Amino acid sequence: MDADASPIRQWRVPTTVPLAKLAGAVVLVALGLLFAEGDPVQLTVIGLVVAGLACWALRDLLAPVRLAVDPAGVVVTRGFAGRRLLPWAAVERITVDRRPRLGLTTEQLEIDAGESLHLFSRYDLGADPDEVAEALQAARRDA
């Protein structure tokens, strides 16, 4: 995507998601301090889990836009906070995958670009994957 071009539409991580991750990290620190009783192994494990949650939340704050669409194609996240343009010619399929897990059905938007597969959940998009798939299909037809 050109620096001058703005996306037609974009989907981002809801603000509540990184806040929930950071709150979980704070709760884990508090529980660790209460129950670890100075055990260095338990404190280390808790510290690693807290660091992981904090990094995961940091990614949501640094790169909240997970998916954008413009006339040239689809822009997806790449790595920790990078972006990658998938031209419409490279996009083979846009589907929503539904799978039952633990009595619930999970949905993920799949963008198949041949050599790469990009998956987005409702928490990545801040919207229903079916609605996003329809918007992407419409943008592809219009391009």
pLDDT in tens, 79-112: 888 999 999 999 999 999 999 988 999 999 999 9
* Cβ proximity of 51 and 44 under 8 Å: no
Q: Is the pTM of this model over 0.75?
A: yes
| Integer Cα distance of 29 and 53 in angstroms | 11
What average pLDDT does range 54-71 have in this prediction?
Answer: 94
Contacts of 22 by beta carbon, 8 Å cutoff, 6+ apart: 53, 54, 57
Contacts of 1 by beta carbon, 8 Å cutoff, 6+ apart: 7, 68, 70, 72, 73, 75, 83, 85
pLDDT at 6: 62
Under the banding of pLDDT at 50, 70 and 90, the label for residue 143 is confident
- What percentage of residues in the chain have a pLDDT greater than 90? 83
Residue 37 has pLDDT above 80, yes or no: yes
Instruction: Please give the structure tokens belonging to residue 44.
Output: 């280390």
pLDDT at 1: 46
Q: Angle at the Cα of 124 (from 119 to 127), degrees rounded to 5?
A: 105
Residue 3 has pLDDT above 50, yes or no: no
Residue 5 has pLDDT above 80, yes or no: no
